[in-house]
Amino acid sequence: MQVALVGIGKIALDQHVPAIAASPDWELAATVSRHGAVPGIPAFTDFAAFLDACPGVSVVSLCLPPVPRFAYAEAALQAGRHVMLEKPPGATLAEVQELAALAAGMGLTLYTTWHSRMARAVEPARAWLAGRRVHRAHVTWREDVRKWHPGQDWVFEPGGMGVFDPGINALSILTHILPRPVHMTAATLEFPENRQTPIAARLAFTGQVSADFDWRQEGPQTWDISVETDRGPLALRLGGNVLEIDGRVVAGERSIMGEYPALYARMADLVRARASEVDLAPMVHVADALTLGRRLVTAPFHF
């Protein structure tokens, strides 16, 4: 199947291009980006021009930041293309629900991808937790925004979600592996005094579940989830790629490189089945944090 990549920036080049190149299902047929391109691939700078020129490219994968994404997704669906959305799937919940209704009405696939859910140890963790009693769980997601979003001011603009841009990855795992749903009861959000979105967040949920997100961590990065159950402790490390039970590694691999190939394999299955997968549960928690959160003002942040 032919796919076009839209928004040739950091994640398109780091992950989407190699995942498509290695896939037996996909051929990268075009790119659409105002500045970026992929060597050897037909490049468009205007999305409408691409839709007109390439009617045979039936799938569009949107790698733009969340705020501009809706207009592209809507135009793609209206032009009869299946759509794959980077995480977070949109700037608001309502806009994604609108896209889901549009896709359903047109018989097209819409896939709200959550790459961290495809981390190698997530399914084994979910299976191990099924049927167990969770006493408490804690997420520690601490990374360096300068490393993962170099110079990307959009993350600190309204709709950029700040530290929830990576934090939503943890929430996508949490909402998938916990045997029972939880909801937020309190949140503390730290906003740099010169920015519109939080750089750190501490979250409390029902069921003794908590999370600590921070974008100011230099040196080693931490993407861990620990869960205490009636039959011992579980820990997910490296963003869900390594599973420890009782302190021993039992599944996974110390690499994040399996996630995007798995997303593209899933998209191929969805398109073949003419099915959609739209899950907003991780984004509901982010919206709740921004609704409930106590706001603290912290030091200004500059890239």
**Contact track, ligand NAP, 72-111, x by CB under 6 A:** --------------xx------------------------
Residue in the shown chain whose Cβ atom is closest to ligand NAP:
9
Adjacency order of strands within the sheet including 59-62? 43-44, 27-32, 2-6, 59-62, 82-85, 110-112
Which is closer to ligand NAP, CB of 66 or CB of 192? 66
Which is closer to ligand NAP, CB of 91 or CB of 187? 91
Among 59, 63, 270, 286, binds ligand NAP (CB under 6 A): 63
On the 0-12 / 13-18 / 19+ scale of CB atoms within 10 A, 210 is middle
| Interaction between residue 61 and ligand NAP (CB under 6 A) | no
Among 1, 10, 157, 226, binds ligand NAP (CB under 6 A): 10
| Interaction between residue 7 and ligand NAP (CB under 6 A) | yes
Cβ contacts of 39 within 8 Å, gap of 6 or more: none
**What are the CA-CA distances from residue 262 to residues 20, 113, 132, 184, 299 (Å)?**
10, 10, 27, 30, 39
Among 148, 257, 258, 292, binds ligand NAP (CB under 6 A): 148
CB of 64 to ligand NAP, least distance (A): 4
Adjacency order of strands within the sheet including 200-205? 248-252, 242-245, 232-237, 222-229, 134-142, 209-214, 200-205, 184-192, 294-298
Give the catalytic positions in this structure. Answer: 87
CB of 69 to ligand NAP, least distance (A): 7
Which is closer to ligand NAP, CB of 77 or CB of 283? 283
How many chain residues are in contact with ligand NAP, going by CB under 6 A?
A: 23
Among 5, 11, 238, 271, binds ligand NAP (CB under 6 A): 11
Distance between the two ends of the chain, CA-based, in angstroms?
39
| Interaction between residue 146 and ligand NAP (CB under 6 A) | no
CB of 67 to ligand NAP, least distance (A): 6
CB of 6 to ligand NAP, least distance (A): 8
**Contact track, ligand NAP, 158-187, x by CB under 6 A:** -------x----------------------
**What are the CA-CA distances from residue 228 to residues 54, 110, 139, 174, 209 (Å)?**
52, 35, 12, 13, 10
CB 240 within 8 A of CB 121: yes
Q: Is the dihedral of CA 152, 242, 20, 54 positive or negative?
A: negative
Among 5, 20, 33, 190, binds ligand NAP (CB under 6 A): 33
Q: Which two tokens stand for residue 177?
A: 């592996």
Name which of 5, 70, 60, 75 is nearest 36 in CA terms. 5
For residue 25, report the phi and psi dihedrals to the nearest 5 degrees. -90, -25
Q: Name the residues that contact ligand NAP, by CB under 6 A.
A: 7-12, 33-36, 63-66, 68, 86-87, 115, 148-149, 152, 154, 165
